[in-house]
Chains A and B, each alone.
Chain A
Amino acid sequence: MSAQQTIDPITLEVVRNKLEGIANEMQSTLLRSSFSPIVREGLDASASLFTLEGESLAQAIAIPIHLATMIPVVKRIVSEFAPDTMRPGDIYLMNDPYLGGTHLPDIALVMPIFADGRPIAFAAAMTHHQDVGGMSPGSIPTNATEIYQEGLRLPPLKFRDGPENFDETVIKILRLNSRIPDTFMGDINAQVSACTIGARRVATLAEGHGADMMLALFAELLDRSEKMTRDALLKLPQGTYSYVDFNDNDGIDLDQRIRIEVKVTLRDGRFMCDFTGTNKQVRGPFNCVPSGSQAAAYFALRTITGTDIPTNGGCFRAVDLTIPEGCILNPVEPAPVNSRTATIKRACGAILGSMRDILPEVVGADAAGEMLALMFGGTGSDGRRYVVGELIAGGSGAGPASDGVDVIETDATNCMNMPVEAFERDAPIRITKTALRRDSGGAGRQRGGLGIDREYEVLEGEIAFTHRGERHFCAPAGAFGGDEGMMARTIITRTDGTEEIVPSKLVTRLFPGDRVLIQTAGGGGFGPPKDRDRDQIKADVANGKVSKEQAKKIYGFST
């Protein structure tokens, strides 16, 4: 690059808008051309543009957990394959968490973008694939104890040489290792399409400006986001803020809580997250490679620095992470990692929690921050095998001026629940209740959001049931005198009347007549309950969100 590229502010903003449009077009292509429902409806795929240095340049709006996850992948690929050896149309691929990936189902594809005969950026797409082999269908075995059980590990590979030559050897290995090779390759092709669209459009955009100017513009865009982010951080009260929260257990050692501790230091325009004090890695698959903590930190950073700043790698330069090796957020190979989501969510909640005292209007009380995962599998009376999964949220935390929201996805995830009318068609199970869980929202001047009550009754056959909960043993905290949200609880009532309380994680069998009642956690309350507006308490009682007993006991309110 020439030393002095004069940046025209209008061109800069036009290019920025174009890059965002291109990222959105890549994302749209990725979602609409993917085969598997999890991608199209769970939005579990993301497309981005990256700089040659592996910093994100523009990103489509996808689920936040993907905000950071591709960054180490691109950096890894750049370090393995020097950009000056790359050719137009090349595609690189990888998934290994210990080399920069996240968990094995997330496979990333990266394609260089060229202008004036040299690479100027990368187009990348990451998709959560339905099956990449391993010990259980779906490649997220809750009982894995090492990564080798979780599926096929892919190091950084050259997947296509130029615009035509796919590596047939790699394709054969991929196909052989997936239980659903056609769907798998369909989703890979969608990633190829997304990268192709991105590379083509950025190359076209570059035609009018030339490679040098494009590189200068990219650098400037990142520098500006960095400056705005650091300026925003400098405006916050400087200092160190800490927070501790817990997850229930790793599904193996059921009585051991998992500690997530963070100290966030705001100084010199930096956002430093130190996870010293966090639990050591666990035997079960709840370990999370560092990209997960990055995603958590980036989410928190974007939440506290405001929407006016264009999101790109410049924002993230302000983040410094300290994660001791061997802890659950920086596990040593070959620890299993497939169920990392719960860990990322808690890390994200802890970072936000540390900011509460200085940013109460942005952070509020703790959310339930749980994504209860249920899996029902068996064989129907018609001999058809079925597996039906559900992801269920709790309540969000109250803010200083607003109650929490009932049953809503928070922080790093954003998945839809399953309609009763879809669920009952897919499994011989009847849902007998879906209601707001009364009294579960933490009391306060502003009340926490409620969790959900949902009850399942088995109609026929024998069902393999997996329950992966959180917040069964550690409540979401209230803020500034607000109460904790109610903890989650799940009870299985067998036909003989015996009740089994699920210890957060469980794999068991269900039989006809068995009932499972799940109750997710409520969000924390904000401010002392005694300060709650009487009309709001009255409305809560009338609307069934708070019982008369609780209204009297906690709020001293009687009708």
Chain B
Amino acid sequence: MVEIGVDIGGTFTDVVCRAPGQSLRVMKVPTTRSDPSKAVLEAAQILSAEWGVSAADISRFVHGTTVATNAVLERKGPKTGLLTTAGFKDILEIGRQIRHTLYAAVLHPEEPGYLAPGALRQEIIERVGQDGSVVQPLDEQSVRDAAAKLVAEGVETIAICYLFSFVNPAHEQRTADIIREAYPDLALSLSCEVDPAFREYERTVVTTFDAYIKPVIDKYLSNLEDGLTEIGVPAHLQIMQSRGGIASSTVARQRPVRLFLSGPAAGVIGAQMVGDSADISDIISVDIGGTSSDIALIRAGEPLIRPEGQVAGYNIRVPMVDVNAIGSGGGSIAWIDPAGGLRVGPHSAGSEPGPACYARGGQEATVTDASIVLGYLDPDYFAGGTLQLSPELSFKVIEEKVAKPLGLTVEQAALGIHQVVNTQMTEGIRLVSIRQGYDPREFALLPLGGAGGIHAAALATELGIARMVVARHPGVLSATGLLSAAIEHETSTAFAQPISELSLPDVRAALDDLDTRCAELMSNENVPSKDVEIRYFADICYVGQSHYLEIPLSLDGDVGGALYDGFREAHNRIFGHAAKTPAQIVNLRSIHRYGGERMLDAPDAVPNGADAYKGTRDIIVQGHEGRLKAAIYNRELMAPGMDVHGPAVLEQSDTTTIVPPGWSVKVLDGGNILMSVNEGNAA
């Protein structure tokens, strides 16, 4: 019984291996961009070679993938056709007519028209009215002709999106039947299945993205499955979806548009799991990477979900964990503007050439270089010693690019760079929290990513957050999150009814239908149906409003009354008021979930803490004069129950955590760390 979680990032593929009674094992292998499944298979082989894990013992294999996102970023999807209602073939390209770059006159398209350019869009004679009635019957010959034309053009996959198909899907379904009969190998995506909700542009976009990546995902998952079979892994492949639940690859390939946030969602689930271990259910996770930072909120133990998100700059209406990227990270470049002012970002040195201290030719002063100057990073123990840093290059570049022009010492300049980037991050975190109606002070901060622990205490102090949780393996939290996520299937349907006129039989009928579809999806998962937890939600807005909120729905008691109260409560939290005017349901949603075991690995050899202390190093901390003598600890050797007081630095192979004066650290059972502000030092 061995469980494997594999998360593919841009640079590294992270692998974690969990077996009963053993400590969690962690590995990083370079990501193979050309075919990421190679790295996964390679990792599986290293597992057996280095860890003695036999492929035949692998009972679960859970995967978080960026293949969907990469296909979109690199525009490497197959030729994709789009069928629309006659008169509306350009909806995909017209979009909503707004632009995101405000101060520019020479503009660039903001709609994903490239997915299916005009030549690959065909109009079908049919029309359904807003009430679902058939205004113009489906002309089946026009479907056959259109499909034949698209196939002749070399199309491998087709999206079908007709007006009002979310009210009456018959024309789309019949169209699919006709095409399947003639071309059984074509991939099809129907808008009434992918996203049955109103607003034709948004539905067309999500359906066309689904069609565009379907063959890519299918091929990728097939390669991976074949490879796993070949090396003798008996487990069925499971994939993380954007909402934070996993699905069998059989289901995932049917609904590929739900995989865009596969990796980040796993990270949020990992954060949730770590929070559980510290009995903390309200968490802000901050994943600080090279070029950007991702911020997510977990409230009452549940990640916040948003109804649509951004992928490769396009708005895509598919539910996903509410992960917000801001353009500040360890690679952000500090520069001097023409008026002589210090600026940090938005440009980044990325991983190539990377910060100057990587000695790969980086000529710009980055945040990571500042971390070197401040004594936060041990040049000999970066990334567990896999990358030898050259601190003299950091000193040199910060002196030349920042300190001299500003008339500061190198140390002052480095501290300044940190202060500025920390300000950008705290403002980003504030905005994400208040937009959801939450005060960040009510949350604990959970740093992630290689640089999370370096900035976290400074961010917490600035935000008035008094507690932090540092995961035992923050660098591979996404991969560990994969192993503790629930299996989840979600279906939704448009359902327009005012709450005041709510018909319970209608609601039940709609939910029954959704439950049937969820159960079908669940049947691929090999789980006992009695243990599947079912939850319902309704998207609700005030009559006349067009943006809705997702509200839990219970079929007990006064259904309408509870929905209305729940809606007003959420509205008040997020928007600051809640009128007593009529509200209506827009969509219904059913979520079937088979609980993940939120279990942490059991370290077999609990360190006794004796060798954890490594000595001292001078660090420079904002708000404290001069250099501080910080105690350096090897995080991996710290024992549960151990207390450490700042100033201190906790080092481990995948991250470094700074403990400023006034903060204390307690190692929890299981290895996670709780950091808190000392009493009397309340932020």
Decide: B89 and A435 in contact? CB cutoff 8 A: yes
**Distance in Å: Cβ of B183 to nearest Cβ of chain A:** 22
Q: Which of B95, B103, B104, B130 contacts A424 (CB 8 A)?
A: B130
Q: Which of B89, B107, B412, B416 has the most CB of A within 10 A?
A: B107
Q: Which of A100-108, A166-174, A394-402 contacts B (4 or more CB under 8 A)?
A: A394-402
Q: Is the CB of A414 within 8 A of B576?
A: no
Find out whether the CB atom of A228 lies under 8 angstroms from the CB atom of B339.
yes
Decide if B424 touches A17 in the complex (CB within 8 Å): yes
Residue from the list A13, A396, A407 in contact with B420, Cβ < 8 A: A13
Q: Does A545 contact B (CB under 8 A)?
A: yes
Interfacial residues of chain A within 504-559, with CB under 8 A of chain B in the complex: 539, 542-545
* A13 near B416: Cβ-Cβ < 8 Å: yes
1/0 per residue, CB under 8 A from A, across B405-442: the answer is 01010001001100110011011101100110000000
Given A13-B342, A13-B343, A436-B94 in contact, is the A25-B198 Cβ separation under 8 Å? Answer: no
- A346 shortest CB reach to chain B, Å: 14
CB of A435 within 8 A of CB of B88, answer yes
Closest residue of chain B to A359, judged by CB?
Answer: B105
Tell which of A29-37, A154-162, A250-258, A332-340 binds the partner: A29-37
Q: Does B209 have its Cβ within 8 Å of any Cβ on chain A? A: no
Produce 1/0 per residue, B61-93, CB < 8 A to A: 000000000000000000000000001111101
Chain B residues contacting A35 (CB-CB under 8 Å) are 577, 579
Residue from the list B106, B107, B408, B545 in contact with A9, Cβ < 8 A: B408
Q: Total contacts A to B, CB within 8 angstroms?
A: 213
Contacts of B408 in A (CB 8 A): 9-10
Stretch touching chain B among A109-117, A277-285, A425-433: A425-433
The CA-CA distance from A486 to B105 in the complex, in Å, is: 19
Chain B, range 163-203, C-beta contacts under 8 Å to A: 163-164, 166, 198-202
Interface residues of A in 380-422 (CB under 8 A from B): 392-393, 396-397, 399-400, 402, 404-411, 414-417, 419-422
Count residues of chain A with CB under 8 A from any CB of chain B: 86
Among residues of B, the one whose C-beta sits closest to the C-beta of A407 is B94
| Residue of B105, B406, B428, B431 touching A364 (CB-CB under 8 A) | B105
Q: Quick one: given A408-B99, A424-B129, A424-B130, are A10 and B415 in contact (CB under 8 Å)?
A: yes
CB-CB under 8 A from A416, the residues of chain B are: 96-98
Question: Given that A405-B107, A409-B97, A435-B87 are contacting pairs, would A10 and B117 also be in contact in the complex, using a CB cutoff of 8 Å?
Answer: no
Chain B residues with CB under 8 Å of A405's CB are 99, 107-110
CB of A352 closer than 8 Å to a CB of B: yes
Interface string of A212-231 (1 = CB under 8 A from B): 00000000000111011001
* Contact across chains for A363 and B420 when beta carbons are under 8 A apart: no
B509 part of interface (Cβ distance < 8 Å): no
The CA of A40 and the CA of B546, in the complex, are separated in Å by 10
Closest to B202 in A: A419
- Asked if B102 is at the interface of the complex by the 8 Å CB criterion, the answer is yes
CB–CB A434/B99 < 8 A: no
B102 in contact with A25 (CB, 8 Å): no
A231 to B105, CA, bound (A): 21
Q: Which stretch from A72-80, A299-307, A319-327 is at the chain B interface?
A: A299-307
Q: Which residues of A contact B576 (CB under 8 A)?
A: 29, 32-33, 190, 193
Q: Name the distance in Å between A38's Cβ and chain B's nearest Cβ.
A: 11
- A545: which B residues are within 8 A, CB to CB? 118
Question: In the complex, are the beta carbons of A543 and B423 less than 8 A apart?
Answer: no
- The answer to whether the Cβ of A163 comes within 8 Å of any Cβ in the partner chain is no
Query: CB-CB < 8 A to A407: which residues of B?
Result: 93-95, 97
Which residues on B sit within 8 Å (CB–CB) of A179? none
Residues in B with CB closer than 8 Å to A190 are: 576
Select A421's contact among B107, B200, B340, B342, beta carbons within 8 Å: B200
Residue contact A225 to B200, C-beta cutoff 8 Å: no
Chain A residues, CB < 8 A from B52? none
Among A174-221, those with CB < 8 Å from B are 182, 186, 189-190, 193
Q: Evaluate contact between A543 and B87: CB separation under 8 angstroms.
A: no
Q: How far is the CA of A545 from the CA of B109 in the complex (A)?
A: 15
Contact between B416 and A10 (Cβ–Cβ < 8 Å)?
A: yes
Which one of A193, A399, A452, A543 has the highest number of Cβ atoms from chain B below 10 Å of its Cβ? A543
Kindly state the separation between the CA atoms of A32 and B575 in the bound complex, as whole angstroms.
5
- Give every chain A residue within 8 A of B344 (Cβ-Cβ): 13
Is the beta-carbon distance between A419 and B575 smaller than 8 angstroms? Answer: no
Q: In whole angstroms, how far apart are the Cα atoms of A33 and B576 in the complex?
A: 5
**Residues of B contacting A424 in the complex (Cβ-Cβ under 8 angstroms):** 129-130
**CA gap between A228 and B202 in the complex, in Å:** 41
Are A20 and B96 in contact, with the CB atoms below 8 A? no
Q: Are A421 and B163 in touch, CB under 8 angstroms?
A: yes
Say whether B107 contacts A404, CB under 8 Å. yes
In contact, A25 and B430 (Cβ under 8 angstroms): yes
Q: Which of A10, A309, A414, A430 contacts B419 (CB 8 A)?
A: A10
Is B600 an interface position by the 8 A CB rule? no
Q: Whose C-beta in chain A lies nearest to the C-beta of B123?
A: A435
Known contacts A41-B547, A363-B105, A414-B99, A419 near B201 by CB under 8 Å: yes
Question: For B130, what are the chain A residues with a Cβ–Cβ distance below 8 Å?
Answer: 421, 424-425
**B119 at interface, CB cutoff 8 A:** yes
Contact of A37 among B93, B431, B545 (CB under 8 A): B545
B534-546 interface code vs A (CB 8 A; 1 in, 0 out)? 0000000000111
- The reply to whether A434 and B339 form a contact with Cβ atoms under 8 Å apart is no
A30–chain B nearest beta-carbon distance, Å: 10
- For residue A493, CB closer than 8 A to chain B, the reply is no
**Distance to closest chain B CB from A334 (angstroms):** 33
Q: Which of A10, A25, A432 contacts B342 (CB 8 A)?
A: A10
- Choose among B105, B163, B343, B579 the residue that contacts A420 (Cβ–Cβ < 8 A): B163
A residues 1-59 touching B (CB-CB < 8 Å): 9-10, 12-14, 16-18, 20-21, 24-25, 28-29, 32-33, 35, 37, 40-41
A406-B94 contact, Cβ under 8 Å, with A14-B419, A64-B102, A224-B339: yes
Q: Given that A225-B339, A397-B105, A405-B108 are known contacts, is A186 also in contact with B545, CB under 8 Å in the complex?
A: no
A152 at the interface (CB under 8 A from B): no
Residue among A307, A415, A435 having the largest count of chain B Cβ atoms under 10 Å? A435
Using CB atoms, name the residue of chain A closest to B418: A10
Taking the complex as formed, is B341 at the interface, i.e. its CB lies under 8 A from any CB of chain A?
A: yes
- A363 to chain B: which residues have CB within 8 Å? 105-106
Instruction: Check: A367 CB closer than 8 A to any chain B CB.
Output: yes
Instruction: Enumerate B524-554 residues with CB–CB distance to A below 8 Å.
Output: 544-547
With an 8 A cutoff between CB atoms, is A308 at the interface? yes
Check A396 against B431 for contact (C-beta < 8 Å).
no
Instruction: Tell me how far the C-beta of B122 lies from the nearest C-beta in chain A, rounded to whole angstroms.
Output: 11
Q: Is A268 an interface residue (CB 8 A)?
A: no
Residues of chain A touching chain B, judged by Cβ–Cβ distance below 8 Å, are 9-10, 12-14, 16-18, 20-21, 24-25, 28-29, 32-33, 35, 37, 40-41, 61, 63-64, 182, 186, 189-190, 193, 223-225, 227-228, 231-232, 299, 302-303, 307-309, 352, 361-364, 367, 392-393, 396-397, 399-400, 402, 404-411, 414-417, 419-422, 424-425, 430, 432-436, 449, 452, 455, 539, 542-545
- 13 of the cross-chain contacts (CB-CB < 8 Å) are A14-B423, A37-B544, A41-B547, A64-B102, A224-B339, A367-B105, A415-B98, A416-B97, A417-B96, A435-B88, A449-B107, A542-B118, A543-B117
Q: What 5 pairs across the A-B complex have the smallest Cβ distances?
A: A21-B427, A543-B118, A399-B106, A10-B416, A33-B576
Extra contacts besides A20-B427, A21-B430, A430-B129 (16): CB < 8 Å: A10-B415, A14-B420, A25-B434, A29-B434, A32-B435, A190-B576, A224-B339, A231-B339, A308-B343, A392-B97, A407-B94, A408-B110, A416-B97, A419-B202, A433-B87, A435-B89
